[in-house]
Amino acid sequence: MTARHAILSGSTFEEQIGYARAVVDGDWVHVSGTTGFDYTTMTISDDVVEQAEQCLRNIESALSEAKCGFADVVRVRYLLPERADFEPCWPVLRRRFGTVRPAATMLTCGLADPRMKIEIEVYARRTVTDRPA
């Protein structure tokens, strides 16, 4: 049986709602929908592009703790309340995923907090063979 463990970011949302930033289950890493909050200060920018950049920093931190990175991402899901906010984020997203080319979906929907303008969720498959279980 493969090891399963949770990765926590320190976000107050994880504690209040009862979830983990990511779950590592064998070779798979499931990163929860991640917003543009800076979890150390629990602040968020008003700018959607800055939020996208912070989302990716938060995701990168979870992936790193899971011993993988953006190159291991096989699926990404973008959630935005405003469809028009997606295209301005493309350059930021392309810098992380342009060579990786994961399967992707973008949905417009309401988010948990009206300050949130983008939420990003990823699934990765770890390929490093010499990592601890």
> Average pLDDT, whole number, for the chain?
93
Can you give the length of the chain in residues? 133
Strand partners, 38: 43
User: pTM higher than 0.75, yes or no?
Assistant: yes
Q: How confident is the model at residue 130 (pLDDT cuts 50, 70, 90)?
A: very low
What does the pLDDT look like over 87-127, one tens digit per residue?
999 999 999 999 999 999 999 999 999 999 999 999 999 98
Contact between 45 and 81 under an 8 Å Cβ cutoff? The reply is no
Contact between 122 and 69 under an 8 Å Cβ cutoff? The reply is no
Compute the distance between CA of residue 123 and CA of residue 70 in angstroms, rounded to an integer.
10
- Tell me the three-class secondary structure of the chain, residue by residue: CCCEEEECCCCHHHHHHHCCCEEEECCEEEEEEEECEECCCCEECCCHHHHHHHHHHHHHHHHHHCCCCHHHEEEEEEEECCHHHHHHHHHHHHHHHCCCCCEEEEEECCCCCCCCCCEEEEEEECCCCCCCC
Which structural domains are found in the chain, ordered by start? 4-125 (3.30.1330.40)
What does the pLDDT look like over 58-98, one tens digit per residue?
999 999 999 999 999 999 999 999 999 999 999 999 999 99
